[in-house]
Structure formats: structure tokens, C-alpha cells
Amino acid sequence: MTHLTHVDADEGGERWWKSAVVYQVYPRSFADSDGDGVGDLPGITGRLDHLHRLGVDVVWLSPVYPSPQDDNGYDVSDYTDIDPTFGTLADLDELADGLHRRGMKLVMDLVFNHSSDEHPWFQASRSGHDDPKRDWYWWRPARPGMAPGTPGAEPNNWGSIFSGPAWEFDEATGEYYLHLFSRKQPDLNWENPAVRHALYDVMRFWLDRGVDGFRLDVINFISKDVRLPDGHVGPGSRFGDGSPYFMSGPRIHEFLQEMHREVIAPHRRPTLLVGEMPGVTLEEARAFTDPARGEVDMVFQFEHVQLDQGTSKWDPQPLDLRALKASLARWQVGLAERGWNSLYLNNHDQPRAVSRFGNDGTHRVAAAKMLATVLHLHRGTPFVYQGEELGMTNAAFDRIESFRDIESRNHFAEAVAGGTDPAHVLDLLQERSRDNARTPMQWDDSTNAGFTTGTPWIEVNPNHAAINAAAAVADPDSVFHHYRRLIELRHTDRVVVHGDFTLLLPDDPRVHAFTRRLDDVELLVLGNFGDTRVRPDLDGWAGAEVLVGAAAGDLLELDPWEGRVLRRHHRG
């Protein structure tokens, strides 16, 4: 029954996630059980057989806590309850039970860098200078010599990741609070031990309820340089870059080790701790994920999803496959001895991979499969984002009114106010917006794709007529069954989990090629990132066994966007 019995018996269960595959559910957009147009927990519970059929081991739920939904739940106003939009604590228990009965685990998303401004902690904090929770957030007076609340009087020059300054002036007490994200997401002050211990209590609350682990939102932002110095102002920017002072800051390792010591180590059941870490370097990631240090099990790094951008995500650049290959290979090799990789191309913040790295036209199915093959044959823990297993595509919204995401809407407003042609900004949003990943899950070809009987909170992609789960499950050659086979392969083949990694053909701009080797078994993984046939020049694979994909005749010849895995044995 359980998937977790397979190749990692040798890890004693402690690092069970080495052979696991995680599936991310974005609850707003997965399945709506009550017709209000927003996905919910009973909706997810009703679709568990889809996940079980796919074979994933873990479900990571994006936030379902009470929230004003300024950032779709990444603005939490109560860490130990469920937002009525998504259901109740009893619904969460039922979801956890349903997963556990099917041998899957549940990972919750914890947003601990900031809370909502509507969280009682912040309400208390903003109520007065003398409130005991004043110091739970980052309050600072205006810049010396400037009148509080006037332009440029912010305590430092940092910009918010969601446009505008990272500081909000609060009339009541005449000070500013720091918000790296929206003004409704004030940053928590981890320097204060009371804050840290309150958050550890939250973790214990969920673990005691049967949750199996956590994905920690922007967790490398929690330790700030307490001087909060001005950042460098780059060309064309109004704001300074504060990231050197808050990304992987001075006390980050200390905080994570404390969390692990307080919460994870004493917990009796196996857990998974994933740290989302924008800007993390390979060297830092090695320290964060070194099991001997007791911090996190794996991190989400961002290097490979920033290669197709210039100064910011709103400055798209053509992707050079050689740079992508080099980056992936560097992380594969860099975390081979110590630490562990997470593997992803998609999540709720990224455009759809098949549209971004592949081809979402005539070669969509081939490209979606090839991207899956390549990713899942790397060493690490693969993450599948809902709809990725169907080869879902970008949204193609062509009016600002269709966009829901605060990041996209704020950027549009700011860019247009700054004089940029709205049509140009819309083009950028169409390519880069997070809403590309947030359109409803496409279950079938009915109205609203079987997502809701009501009016969906965000438009359904019209291509659900052809791209949907019902059709994919019925078709043995679908993207879905390809993912299912890749997941099964990880569960049954030790070389996929443990084999070492060697990049081949680093200078080839079209083909990703690498080997995985464990003892006498070697795999060759090939992916054609182009619209025409290619045949990479590699020796020694004649007569190899085809493990993934098809091949008639020449084992090395690849159709457009085709992926393939070959296996050979070294004897003697």
C-alpha cells in the first residue's frame, strides 16, 4: 500500500524523502466542493484518488489558514486554524486521514517571515509603543531629519518585492513597519525569542495533529542585519536592494538549528522540512541541508528559474540551454556529498514549464514529457505542481482585469504610472505572471473544467477542452501516465535515487544529456529542447536498454522535444 517501503530501506526511514516525489496543491485552484468558485479542503479530499494513481508520496498544501487573502493565503491572520473559505480543522483532519490511508504524507506551508497585518499579534504590535508585542515586528522611526510620512522619509531605501517601498507609515504611532512583501504582510522580528517560540508552538500544533512536515516560506529572509542599512540602487530603480541584509542573514543558521532542536528532533515520527530560499547560493544550501547540522532537509533554490531574466522577473531574456544545464549540473555535483537537492520547474509562483522551457503548441505533449523525464532523472526530490502532470500551459490572459495576483497587479499599476505602454506591460505579465500557474486545475472538458459549479475566482484556461485529467487518465500515452511511470521508476530503481551525476555535451545548445551511475549500472538521459530532430554524438550506447521513452532504430536519435533514458551495465 504505502509507497515509502521501496528503495530507501537503507536510510533507516530517517531520510525517507530521498526516494519520494512531492505533489503541490494550490488549494484555491484545485477543486471546489461547495460552488463558491474557490477551491477547498473537501474538494482536495474528493480528488485523492487522482494523486494516488499518479503515485506521489507527499502532498504539500499551500496555505489554508485564516487570511485576508491579500496574497492568496501567504498573509496569515491565524496560524492554527483553517480559513472558512477552505473549510474547517475537521476537514483538514479528514484530508490528512485520506492521505495517510493511501500511504501518502501531508506537508503544510508555514509563512513565518511575515504575518498578515490582521493577525492579532500585529494588531497588538501597532497599538502602541509600549505594547508587549511592539517588538514582534520591525518598527523604525523616519529617516533622521525628515518628517515622518513624507516621501523619502522611510527608515531605509529598500523596495518591496511587490512594488513600492518596503516600509509602511503608521499614523497612530508615527513609525514605519517593514514589509518585504505587501503592506499587508509585516515582517516578524525573529530577533525576539518570544516570536520564535510562538512559531515553534505553531509547528508543534500541526505535528501533533498528524501533519508530516513543512514547507517554510522564504525562510532565508527571517534573519535581518539589525542595522537595516540602505541598499544599492541599481540602474532604472527607485529603490535600494536590501537583499544582502536580509537573505541568509547573520543568524539564519542559528535560528534554523534552534527550530530543529526545539521542534523536529524531539518529534517521534519522520518529518520533511523544506526551506524556500530565494537567492540562496550553492555553498549556503550545502550548509542548510547538511544532515549533521540539523537545519532543513532540502531547499528550493532559484538559480535555474532566474536564467531567463535580466534585472528582474519583468525583464525576460532568452534562455540559453547551456546556462540551464550548467546550473543544474553545478547543483547536482555541489550537493552530491553533503546536502540534498529539491527538483522543480513549476510551482504557484512560476509560469508553466511547458510554456516557458518547452513548446506549448504542436509539440506540447512531447515537450511536457521530455521536461518531466529530464527533471525526474536528476538526483534529488522532485516536486510536481498541480496540472504539471497534465502538461497544463500558461493562461494567455490579455486584459489586466483577468489577473488576480497582487504582484502582477501592483507591477502593472507601477509600470503604467511610470509611463510604460500598458500593452507592453501586459505582454510581460502574459509571459511572467504567477497567475499562469494559478488557473483552475483542469479535471475534465465540462464548463469550468470540473473545477467548480460556480464562478471560478480566476478564469479557467479554454484549452481544458483538450487538456484535462479525465482525458489524460484514459490515454495510456498521456503526459499523466508518463509522470506516473517516472514516479514509479524512482520508487523501484536505486540508480535514480542514489546514482552519481555527470553532465555530457555541456556546449550543446539543443540537447541536455547526462549520466547517472551506481555500481555497475549506468543511465543515459537525453532531452531535445528543439523543434527539429537531433542525434547527439555519444559512444557506447548501442544495444542499450530503453528505460523511458520509445526508440525505433537509432537509440540516440531524438524527435522534436523528445526525451529518452537508456540503461547499460558495466561488467567485470
Among the listed residues 26, 74, 137, 239, the single contact to ligand TEU using CB under 6 A: 74
Does residue 278 touch ligand TEU according to CB under 6 A? Answer: yes
> Measured between alpha carbons, how far is 33 from 173 in angstroms, rounded to an integer?
44
Does residue 568 touch ligand TEU according to CB under 6 A? Answer: no
**CB of 302 or CB of 541, closer to ligand TEU:** 302
* Interacting residues with ligand TEU between 144 and 163 (CB under 6 A): 161
Does residue 181 touch ligand TEU according to CB under 6 A? Answer: yes
Of 356, 354, 346, the closest CA to residue 382 belongs to: 346
Among the listed residues 57, 217, 297, 522, the single contact to ligand TEU using CB under 6 A: 217
Does residue 79 touch ligand TEU according to CB under 6 A? Answer: no
**CB of 273 or CB of 486, closer to ligand TEU:** 273
Q: Nearest distance from residue 314's CB to ligand TEU, in Å?
A: 9
289-308: string of b/e by CB count within 10 Å (b at 16+)?
bbeebbbbbbbbbebbbebb
Task: Please give the helix or strand (H or E) that residue 324 lies within, else none.
Answer: helix 321-334
Q: Which three cell numbers mark 170?
A: 503608521
**CB of 111 or CB of 256, closer to ligand TEU:** 111
Q: Nearest distance from residue 491's CB to ligand TEU, in Å?
A: 28
Does residue 349 touch ligand TEU according to CB under 6 A? Answer: yes
Q: Nearest distance from residue 376's CB to ligand TEU, in Å?
A: 22
* Cell 464562478, residue located: 455
Binding-site size for ligand TEU (CB under 6 A) equals: 14
Q: Which pairing describes strands 105-110 and 58-61: parallel, antiparallel, or unpaired? A: parallel
Q: Which three cell numbers mark 336?
A: 552530491
Q: Nearest distance from residue 284's CB to ligand TEU, in Å?
A: 16
Name every residue whose Cβ is closer than 8 Å to that of residue 28 and which is 6 or more positions away in sequence. 38, 39, 62, 72, 73, 438, 457, 458
Among the listed residues 71, 212, 258, 389, the single contact to ligand TEU using CB under 6 A: 71
498-536: string of b/e by CB count within 10 Å (b at 16+)?
bbebebbbeebebbbbbbbbeeeebbbbbbbbbeeebeb
CA of residue 178 relative to chain centroid, distance:
24
* Interacting residues with ligand TEU between 86 and 125 (CB under 6 A): 111
- Which residues share a beta bridge with 545? 567
* Cell 537531433, residue located: 534
Residue of minimal Cβ distance to ligand TEU: 74
- Is residue 101 within 8 Å of residue 56, measured between CB atoms? no
Does residue 222 touch ligand TEU according to CB under 6 A? Answer: no
- Which residues share a beta bridge with 167? 178
Binding mask 388-407 for ligand TEU (x = CB under 6 A): -------------------x
**CB of 111 or CB of 472, closer to ligand TEU:** 111
**CB of 71 or CB of 91, closer to ligand TEU:** 71
- Helix then strand count (H, E) for the chain reads 16, 18
Which listed residue (187, 217, 295, 389) is catalytic?
217
Q: Nearest distance from residue 20's CB to ligand TEU, in Å?
A: 21
> Measured between alpha carbons, how far is 405 from 430 in angstroms, rounded to an integer?
12
- Is residue 394 within 8 Å of residue 355, measured between CB atoms? yes
If DSSP codes are grouped into helix, strand and coil, which group holds residue 114? strand
Q: Nearest distance from residue 12's CB to ligand TEU, in Å?
A: 32
First vs last C-alpha separation in the chain: 38
Does residue 68 touch ligand TEU according to CB under 6 A? Answer: no
Q: Nearest distance from residue 25's CB to ligand TEU, in Å?
A: 14
Q: Which three cell numbers mark 448?
A: 469550468
Does the active-site annotation cover 276?
yes
Does residue 60 touch ligand TEU according to CB under 6 A? Answer: no
**CB of 218 or CB of 353, closer to ligand TEU:** 218
* Interacting residues with ligand TEU between 309 and 348 (CB under 6 A): 313, 348
Among the listed residues 18, 352, 363, 434, the single contact to ligand TEU using CB under 6 A: 434
Does the active-site annotation cover 217?
yes
**CB of 348 or CB of 369, closer to ligand TEU:** 348
Which listed residue (117, 154, 187, 276) is catalytic?
276
Q: Nearest distance from residue 163's CB to ligand TEU, in Å?
A: 11
Task: Give one DSSP letter per residue of 438-497, joined into a string.
Answer: TSPP--SSSGGGGT-SS--SSPPPGGGGTS-HHHHHH-TTSHHHHHHHHHHHHHH-HHHH
**CB of 111 or CB of 264, closer to ligand TEU:** 111
**CB of 70 or CB of 360, closer to ligand TEU:** 70
**CB of 40 or CB of 71, closer to ligand TEU:** 71
Name every residue whose Cβ is closer than 8 Å to that of residue 384 and which is 6 or more positions away in sequence. 21, 22, 23, 24, 54, 56, 346, 483
> Measured between alpha carbons, how far is 362 from 452 in angstroms, rounded to an integer?
29
Q: Nearest distance from residue 217's CB to ligand TEU, in Å?
A: 5
- Which residues share a beta bridge with 106? 59
Does residue 218 touch ligand TEU according to CB under 6 A? Answer: yes
Binding site for ligand TEU (CB under 6 A): 71, 74, 111, 161, 181, 217-218, 276, 278, 313, 348-349, 407, 434
* Residues noted as catalytic: 217, 276
